[in-house]
Amino acid sequence: MRILIVDDMPEMRMLLRTFIESEKHTVLEATNGQEAVEAAQRWTPDLILMDLCMPVMDGYEATRQIRKTQSGVSIPIVAISADYNGGASKKALDAGCDMCVDKPMSSAQLHTLFDILAQAAHI
């Protein structure tokens, strides 16, 4: 599976990359929403893990822009957010994310997420 990690925090990208690569998936990183839009068009990932609060362009707008592209319509986008009050989840789903996960994500959450996506996509 080709996974695009979008997060402005280097530590979060490193943590996710380490886990994802240990599961034998391929990773590309973006540090803001604008880079995410460009990477999604250029690379067409099988999954995008999208932080919501970032500089340059936030994850909400990046998701909306990715969804406007032909290839971006069908890419699963999972919002990852440290906003525990629940407001970010509704806003992310309204922007076009498929699901929302609190961060930091545990390895068990990532395994479950990958299993669900693999079954849905038959990857």
Amino acid at the residue 33? G
Distance (Å, whole) CA 22 – CA 19:
5
Domain residues for the domain of 93 are 2-121
Report how many domains make up the chain.
1
Task: Check pLDDT > 90 for residue 115.
Answer: no
Share of the chain above pLDDT 90, in %: 63
Residue written as token pair 């943590």: 15
pLDDT tens for 38-80 read: 999 999 999 999 999 999 999 999 999 999 999 999 999 999 9
pTM above 0.85, yes or no: yes
Distance (Å, whole) CA 7 – CA 29:
8
CATH code of residue 53: 3.40.50.2300
